[in-house]
Homo-oligomer: A and B are copies of this chain.
């Protein structure tokens, strides 16, 4: 009989989750590793990677399906959209809803649409100011 694997709440796992939930940028594994190391100096990067994958599988966090070579993680498990600044590269949450989307999608040839990923790109307030100054 198949034993369901139990999930132990280790110090490392708890602190990784806490730190990820604390920020509203969507850090890469090693950005998060740096934060976590302030509280757990002996933690290894491999542990961060392992726990992030595990938390994704548990549905407690999300892995962003976008951009660049590095994976980014999101402490908010709900579906939502993102804004990526083309200047500083940071990714923040976009509020609001895009209601027509699912309907549009359903018209495409034979696909059964179950979801979508949306990333808006542009310049954040901060970087726009820098641009205007120069």
- Residues of A at under 8 Å CB distance from B? 65-69, 71, 83, 85-86, 94-96, 98, 100-101, 104-105, 107-125, 128
Taking a contact as CB atoms under 8 Å apart, the answer to whether A124 and B111 are in contact is yes
Check A118–B117 contact: CB distance below 8 A.
Answer: yes
Contact: B108 with A113, CB < 8 Å?
Answer: no
CA distance A91 to B109 in the complex (A): 13
Closest to A126 in B: B110
Q: Chain B's nearest CB lies how many Å from the CB of A33? A: 18
Given A65-B119, A66-B67, A114-B121, 14 other A-B residues pairs in contact with their CB atoms under 8 A: A66-B117, A83-B105, A83-B108, A85-B111, A98-B98, A98-B101, A110-B124, A110-B125, A110-B128, A111-B125, A112-B128, A116-B120, A116-B121, A118-B119
